[in-house]
A and B are shown apart, each in its own frame.
Chain A
Amino acid sequence: MVAGALFFAWLMRPSKPDPIKLDVYECGEETVGPSQVQFNIKFYLAAILFVVFDVEALFLLPWAVAFKDLGIRAFIEMILFILILFVGLAYAWRKGILKWA
């Protein structure tokens, strides 16, 4: 019923947009420039870091679920996995990629 009423209202009502109607309501801030601008390369470096540690998180998932059934050996194996990937983080840190200047 409600959907039908809304649909017919949409069908029947006139559409006459003009700049003043589409303007920001009351005391809203006027927008400056387009919303999709070119990004700084720094965001991209952060995104690469995110992607790799995202994949790492995926492999932590089955380990975390099976943690109670796995022994100390599996724990050490996972620590080794994390440590190898930590080298990458250390590299990024050393090269100043984590710095936001």
Chain B
Amino acid sequence: MDISVIISKLAFYPIAAVILIAAILVVSLRNVFYAALSLILCFLGVASLYLLLHAEFLAGAQVLIYIGAISVLIIFAIMFTKDISHQYSSGTLLYRVSVGFVLFLLFLVMTAAYLLNAWTHAAAGGTGVSITDIGKMMLSTYLLPFEALSVLLLAALIGALFLARKEER
């Protein structure tokens, strides 16, 4: 076996450990701000897993969108909520049971997806579609959706700014 293959196979375990520990911290930490910070660590681990699978574009998306944008929005949501860091309430029993039930259903769906998937791409070490291929396809075959995306982003930006400014006044 090639040395780089061995290294990437070995690298999986510490990365998986970091993801699992960070994910457990997210749900167990009392301070919601620290939970958000562990969530960022968890996202970083997932980005590393994408890199191990040679999914460079997904890894870039994970770093830019999840670690960049989503984390900023989560932290802003925490910062804008008054005294949220000092509230340790877990809700009523009914609330906890219903959340647990929904999470159990989600777990069943994920397990089914895991068992029914053949994982051929993961076994082959990636799909073989490089970031260069994505760039070429994005600007030729999928040009119209790509340009439509810019209009969508523009609409989202102006809409969000308009609403936020209305709050400000």
Interface residue ranges, A against B (CB under 8 Å): 34, 36-39, 41, 43-45, 47-52, 54-59, 61-67, 69-70, 73-74, 77-78, 80-81, 84-85, 87-88, 91-92, 95, 97
Shortest C-beta distance, A90 to chain B (Å), equals 10
With A and B bound together, what is the CA distance between A37 and B86 in angstroms? 11
Contact B65–A58 (Cβ < 8 Å): yes
- Decide yes or no whether B95 CB sits under 8 A from chain A: no
Given contacts A62-B135, A88-B153, contact A54 B167 (CB under 8 A): no
Shortest C-beta distance, B57 to chain A (Å), equals 6
Other-chain contact of B139, A38, A43, A77 (Cβ < 8 Å): A77
Interface residues of B in 137-169 (CB under 8 A from A): 138-140, 143, 146-147, 149-151, 153-154, 156-158, 160-161, 164-165, 167-168
- Decide yes or no whether B64 CB sits under 8 A from chain A: yes
With A and B bound together, what is the CA distance between A50 and B64 in angstroms? 11
Given contacts A39-B80, A47-B76, A95-B165, contact A85 B154 (CB under 8 A): yes
Contact A45–B136 (Cβ < 8 Å): no
Given contacts A55-B69, A66-B136, contact A97 B161 (CB under 8 A): yes
Per DSSP, chain B at the interface is: helix
Interface residue ranges, B against A (CB under 8 Å): 33, 57, 60-61, 64-65, 68-69, 72-73, 76, 78-80, 82, 85, 131-136, 138-140, 143, 146-147, 149-151, 153-154, 156-158, 160-161, 164-165, 167-168
Other-chain contact of B65, A54, A66, A67 (Cβ < 8 Å): A54
With A and B bound together, what is the CA distance between A34 and B73 in angstroms? 21
Point out the residues of chain B lying under 8 angstroms from A51, CB to CB. Answer: 68-69, 72-73
Other-chain contact of A47, B72, B154, B156 (Cβ < 8 Å): B72
Contact A70–B157 (Cβ < 8 Å): no
Using a Cβ cutoff of 8 Å, how many contacts connect chains A and B? 130
With A and B bound together, what is the CA distance between A55 and B122 in angstroms? 27
Which of chain B's residues has its CB closest to A56's CB?
B153
Contact B165–A97 (Cβ < 8 Å): yes
With A and B bound together, what is the CA distance between A20 and B52 in angstroms? 49
Given contacts A69-B132, A69-B136, contact A77 B143 (CB under 8 A): yes
Given contacts A51-B73, A58-B65, A91-B158, contact A36 B136 (CB under 8 A): no
